[in-house]
Amino acid sequence: MSEHSPQAADVIVVGAGPAGSTTAYYLAQAGLKVFLLEKATFPRDKICGDGLTPRAVRQLIAMGVDINAPGWIRNKGLRIYGGGVKIELPWPELASFPDFGLVRPRMDFDQLLAEHAAKAGATLLQGTNVTEPIIDERTDRVVGVRAVDKKSGTAREFRAPLVVAADGNSARLALALGIRKREDRPLGVAVRRYYETPRHDDDYMESWLELWDGDKLLPGYGWVFGCGNGTSNVGLGLLNTSKSFQNTDYRAMLQRWTAGMPEEWQFDEAHATGPIRGAALPMGFNRQPHYSRGLLLVGDAGGMINPFNGEGIDYAMESGHLAAGIVVQALARPTAAQRERALYEYPRILKEEHGGYFTIGRVFVKAIGDPRVMKFATRHGLPHPTLMRFTLKLLANLTDPRGGDSMDRIINAMSKIAPAA
């Protein structure tokens, strides 16, 4: 194909991470012609904890992903360390969510989802680096994208009446439309490393609310997630609400923290399977609007990471599912005005579903940015199992919207009355 012969589709999805692949899957399921463009070539890695809470598991089940196949490891809940206490909290039993989580390394998780979208009918094009949107001068709308084939260096054009930006934290397409990140939203940094360890098949995901370097308390929180394949994903996160955010060597901090772990866990240089790698975590809808001039933002491109726990895969998949449903409805409308009316439902529904909850999350991360608050919370909160069960539901956003218990009703009410993010 020459660079002068653009390919046409109903929708172009840029980025084959969880958000993009979920979007493409549902679009293809509805019978639309969709291109799923991925700049890398699978298998490829992404910086992540690799842990999936029941909220993400629900999305995988809805897509028909076989979570009983080899490569998935289930977990019963969250084990929390802090304040000199260790507590195991099973995932809550709810009508709306399964009562188990999963761990799957991103090295093959993303490929699995992208191939699942391709099986549903999406055209997956790897090694296709999208460089910019194509904007119609007459309508000032996005009508496609320009890309470069990374193998041949050939310039390519793809045309469609709607484009979905699932291009992650780089948000190249959003920036091209002048959609810039909001500085009043929290930002996190996460670093992680894989280690060969006998703890690889742990049936609890592990969260450390205090990171100690000898007798010095480090800023941030840590995790240990067994991958079931002989390795564990060990990492830590730090929020920009902490005074230490700008002046921390995150890789050295991870090494100092793991150096204090029991020797038999093997979280040391000799058992590391690769380098320490890090990434930014855009949180709490830090890039808006989520729809503008023919472009929809899903996942990290729209800052859809939960400020409470740094989790993004579930919201990436949920936003992709929602975006796809709205796009299908919009493209069926006979006039441009009716299509726009349908498309503007996307940001409205996102805010209605998650806006209040993310606002509470912003208040939470601002508070725990003060290490004294975090220290007080872990010392006095962790010894109380009922309070911690409530906290788990709040942090993981796991409640039944109707017919739930008193904890569900409190969390749901808080989310409803909080102003949308």
What's the Cα-to-Cα distance from 174 to each of 120, 167, 178, 285, 297, rounded to whole Å? 27, 9, 6, 13, 8
In 3-state terms, what secondary structure has residue 373?
helix
Q: Which two tokens stand for residue 274?
A: 């690769």
What's phi and psi for 231, nearest 5 deg? -125, 160
Query: Which of helix, strand or coil describes residue 263?
Result: helix
pLDDT above 70: residue 2 = no
Q: What is the mean pLDDT of the chain?
A: 93
Phi, psi dihedrals of residue 397, rounded to the nearest 5°: 55, 50
CA distance 98 to 398: 10
What single letter denotes the amino acid at residue 225? Answer: F
Q: Give 338-380 pLDDT, tens digit per residue.
A: 999 999 999 999 999 999 999 999 998 888 777 777 778 777 7
**CA dist 394 → 26, 224, 307, 390 (Å):** 29, 21, 11, 6
Query: Residues 175, 302: contact at Cβ < 8 Å?
Result: no
> What is the Cα–Cα distance from 2 to 319, expressed in whole angstroms?
34
What is the C-alpha separation between 363 and 361, in angstroms, rounded? Answer: 5
* Res 6 pLDDT > 80: no
Reply yes or no on whether the pLDDT at 65 is more than 70.
yes
| Mean per-residue pLDDT, 267-286 | 95
Q: What is the pLDDT of residues 70-101, one digit of tens each?
A: 999 999 999 999 888 899 999 999 999 999 99
In this structure, what DSSP letter does residue 397 have?
Answer: T
Distance CA 382, CA 28 (A): 46
Residue 4 clears pLDDT 60, i.e. is over it: no
Distances (CA, A) of 246 to 11, 49, 162, 170, 255: 40, 22, 38, 20, 18
Q: How far is CA 348 from the centre of its chain?
A: 20
Number of Cβ within a 10 Å radius of residue 256: 16
The pLDDT of residue 3 is 46
Q: Residue 286's CB: how many other CB atoms inside 10 A? A: 26
SS3 of 68-137: the string is CCCCCEEECEEEEEECCEEEEEECCCCCCCCCCEEECCHHHHHHHHHHHHHHCCCEEECCEEEEEEEEEC
Give the other-Cβ count within 10 Å of 340's Cβ: 15
**Helix boundaries (H) for 163-213:** 172-176
pLDDT at position 260 over 50: yes
Question: Can you tell me the distance from the alpha carbon of 255 to that of 342, in angstroms, rounded to the nearest whole number?
Answer: 50
Q: What is the mean pLDDT of residues 36-42?
A: 97
In this structure, what DSSP letter does residue 182 have?
P
Share of the chain above pLDDT 90, in %: 81
Phi, psi of 304 (to 5 degrees): -95, 40
CA atoms of 213 and 259, how far apart (whole Å) = 8
Residue range 297-317: average pLDDT? 95
In this prediction, residue 108 carries a pLDDT of 95
Helix 313-331 with 336-343: angle, nearest 10 deg = 160
pLDDT > 70? residue 1: no
pLDDT at 315 over 70: yes
Distance CA 87, CA 382 (A): 7
* AA letter at 129: N
